[in-house]
């Protein structure tokens, strides 16, 4: 009788009660309300500086912002209650600032159209509709994907679907897949245009993550050693290389070099996370340099972009970059103020050059604050990837987070003259439906991984203790007479 008492006493004294895990959904709601206040105040400033009066559009945009992200908050509270409380507010604020800049550019384009007598159609109402569709897709992904590990079961299906989605614009006729601005990456479905490469990016990341987890040991131990590096066996490396080469080849043939750079960088980082060997980064960068040297004489628009990058103030092909640089220089440290600049004179100021439009009116300080928000979003994603307990979640979360960071680096580097322009757009901020839809799917998967990482572990049911055979009682069996 003494043993159960002693055991109970040891349990109460040796193990402290587990700390109560807080979901912090109230913090998320508070931050979302703060984001709505900032976005509404920014819209008011734009209207006052442009028209000196307030229009009903502010009420429409403010109510739409609150309604959409209120719906997203309810979905997170319902299906991912332990997810990181900062990810959704950061996305909401970046998306809201994008709506502010697009509205600002619309006002400038409307003024120019009124002066020339041309017809004008605003982009911001369409972007609000795309945000609505994106939030609905976000809720669907969050509700349907209950456990991110189930995606690993469909890794090859995701990889094949991603490759098919990438190849569709190249194989379909121009009536369904027209060439726009030198790139053949769009599908036209009636009045809508979709860029399937944005969705293929996520599908291929699922495939890369699942494959690298399954073959991780073979990547480090089972191959041949060459120049001090252990290479995996060709049969283990072949599916990964084939998928990567096909994806890169397709986007290069479609002249979407920015997306090819994004795919290459994502695979390189996921390979580094899986193997923890920096030599893969070195090999990848070497291959990237060789690929650039081969692509330069083959593609005329690559030569134009490199020439515009090297001679931004002299090259005729660098008109967009010239206008963007002059605009950002006009903004200076503090900016011209919301509604006080002239970002609309830059071609594609609401899509490819939305970062330059933002920097012109909010200056270096505003741009630095925006980059800090993106950096914080990436860090919270990486933190969730580090905290989750399964290898597939770690690799997928790391790839999703790095995709945001790399895409932002390519965009900001292009509009500031650090690297050549690529045609990629700023995540969550630039005008365009495909990018917005795909990035909200990406955030839904990040929140799902974050929920798994922060969810308190339920203690497993203790199994009944089996008596060791050495301690089993001996029974005396009498021989039958």
How many other CB atoms are found less than 10 A from the CB of residue 417? 19
The stretch 156-165 carries a mean pLDDT of 89
Find where tokens 């980064």 sit.
Answer: 281
pLDDT tens readout for residues 66-86 = 889 999 999 999 999 999 999
pTM: 0.85
The stretch 280-296 carries a mean pLDDT of 75
pLDDT tens readout for residues 6-19 = 444 444 444 444 44
The stretch 117-130 carries a mean pLDDT of 85
> Distance between CA atoms of 27 and 35, rounded to whole angstroms?
12
Residue 305 is assigned to a structural domain of this protein? yes
Q: Report the run of H or E that residue 382 belongs to, with start and end.
A: helix 354-387
pLDDT of residue 99: 92
> Distance between CA atoms of 337 and 354, rounded to whole angstroms?
15
Q: Is 193 helix (H, G, I), strand (E, B) or coil?
A: strand
Q: Which residues pair with 194 in a beta bridge?
A: 187
Task: Decide if pLDDT at 48 tops 80.
Answer: yes
Owning domain of residue 194: 25-454
> Distance between CA atoms of 426 and 113, rounded to whole angstroms?
26
Task: Decide if pLDDT at 52 tops 80.
Answer: no
Task: Decide if pLDDT at 229 tops 70.
Answer: no
Identify whether the C-beta of residue 90 lies closer than 8 Å to the C-beta of residue 376: yes
Question: Which residues fall within 8 angstroms of residue 130, CB to CB, at 6 or more apart?
Answer: 432, 433, 436, 437
Residue 3 is assigned to a structural domain of this protein? no
Identify whether the C-beta of residue 39 lies closer than 8 Å to the C-beta of residue 93: yes
Task: Decide if pLDDT at 246 tops 60.
Answer: yes
Task: Decide if pLDDT at 222 tops 60.
Answer: no
Residue 13 is assigned to a structural domain of this protein? no
pLDDT of residue 223: 61
pLDDT band for position 165 (50/70/90)?
confident
Residue 323 is assigned to a structural domain of this protein? yes
Q: Among residues of the chain, what percentage have pLDDT more than 90?
A: 33
pLDDT tens readout for residues 439-479 = 999 999 999 999 999 888 766 666 555 555 545 555 555 55
For 46-108, the DSSP string reads: HHHHHHSS--THHHHHHHHHHHHHHHHHHHHHHH-TTS-TTHHHHHHHHHHHHHHHHHHHHHH
Find where tokens 């726009």 sit.
Answer: 180
Residue 464 is assigned to a structural domain of this protein? no
> Distance between CA atoms of 39 and 456, rounded to whole angstroms?
35
Among 156-165, 299-308, 455-464, whose mean pLDDT is lowest?
A: 455-464
pLDDT of residue 206: 92
Residue 243 is assigned to a structural domain of this protein? yes
Which is more confidently placed, 215 or 378?
Answer: 378
Question: Which residues fall within 8 angstroms of residue 412, CB to CB, at 6 or more apart?
Answer: 355, 371, 418, 426
> Distance between CA atoms of 426 and 420, rounded to whole angstroms?
15
Identify whether the C-beta of residue 315 lies closer than 8 Å to the C-beta of residue 196: no
pLDDT band for position 213 (50/70/90)?
confident
Residue 98 is assigned to a structural domain of this protein? yes
pLDDT of residue 444: 95
Task: Decide if pLDDT at 228 tops 90.
Answer: no
> Distance between CA atoms of 225 and 232, rounded to whole angstroms?
9
> Distance between CA atoms of 65 and 55, rounded to whole angstroms?
16
Task: Decide if pLDDT at 217 tops 80.
Answer: no
Structural domains in the chain (count): 1
Angle, vertex CA 402, rays to CA 400 and CA 406, nearest 5:
125
Which is more confidently placed, 201 or 1?
Answer: 201
Residue 5 is assigned to a structural domain of this protein? no
Angle, vertex CA 253, rays to CA 248 and CA 259, nearest 5:
45
pLDDT of residue 404: 92
How far the first Cα of the chain sits from its last, in Å, is 40
pLDDT of residue 289: 76
Q: Is 186 helix (H, G, I), strand (E, B) or coil?
A: coil
């Amino acid at each position: 009788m003494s043993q159960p008492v002693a055991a109970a006493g040891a349990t109460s004294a040796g193990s402290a009660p587990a700390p109560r895990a807080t979901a912090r959904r109230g913090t998320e709601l508070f931050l979302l309300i703060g984001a709505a206040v900032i976005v509404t105040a920014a819209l008011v400033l734009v209207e006052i500086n442009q028209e000196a009066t307030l229009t009903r559009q502010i009420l429409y945009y403010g109510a739409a912002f609150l309604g959409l992200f209120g719906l997203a908050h309810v979905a997170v509270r319902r299906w991912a209650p332990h997810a990181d409380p900062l990810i959704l507010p950061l996305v909401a604020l970046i998306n809201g600032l994008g709506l502010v800049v697009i509205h600002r550019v619309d006002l400038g384009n409307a003024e120019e159209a009124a002066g020339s007598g041309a017809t004008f159609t605003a982009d911001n109402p369409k972007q609000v509709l795309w945000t609505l569709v994106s939030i609905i897709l976000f809720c669907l992904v969050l509700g349907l994907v209950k456990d991110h590990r189930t995606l690993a079961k469909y890794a090859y299906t995701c990889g094949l679907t991603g490759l098919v989605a990438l190849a569709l614009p190249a194989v379909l006729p121009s009536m369904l897949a027209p060439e726009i601005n030198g790139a053949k990456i769009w599908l036209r479905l009636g009045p809508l245009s979709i860029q399937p490469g944005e969705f293929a990016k996520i599908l291929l990341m699922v495939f890369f993550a699942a494959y690298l987890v399954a073959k991780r040991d073979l990547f480090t131990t089972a191959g041949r050693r060459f120049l001090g590096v252990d290479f995996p066996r060709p049969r283990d490396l072949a599916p990964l290389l084939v998928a990567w080469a096909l994806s890169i080849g397709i986007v290069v043939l479609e002249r979407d070099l920015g997306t090819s750079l994004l795919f290459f960088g994502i695979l390189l980082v996921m390979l580094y996370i899986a193997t923890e060997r920096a030599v893969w980064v070195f090999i990848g960068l070497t291959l990237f340099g060789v690929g650039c040297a081969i692509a330069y004489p083959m593609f005329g628009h690559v030569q134009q972009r490199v020439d515009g990058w090297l001679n931004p103030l002299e090259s005729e092909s660098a008109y967009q970059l010239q206008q963007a640089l002059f605009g950002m220089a006009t903004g200076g440290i503090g900016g011209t103020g919301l509604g006080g600049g002239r970002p609309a004179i830059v071609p594609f100021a609401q899509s490819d050059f939305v970062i330059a439009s933002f920097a012109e009116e909010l200056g270096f300080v505003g741009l630095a604050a925006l980059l800090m928000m993106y950096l914080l979003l990436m860090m919270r994603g990486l933190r969730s990837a580090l905290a989750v307990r399964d290898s597939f979640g770690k690799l997928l979360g790391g790839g999703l987070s790095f995709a945001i960071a790399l895409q932002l680096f390519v965009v900001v580097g292009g509009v500031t003259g650090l690297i050549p322009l690529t045609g990629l757009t700023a995540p969550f901020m630039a005008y365009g439906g495909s990018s917005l839809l795909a990035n909200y799917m990406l955030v839904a998967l990040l929140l799902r991984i974050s929920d798994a990482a922060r969810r308190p572990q339920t203690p497993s049911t203790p199994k009944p203790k089996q008596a060791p055979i050495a301690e089993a009682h001996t029974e005396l069996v009498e021989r039958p007479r």
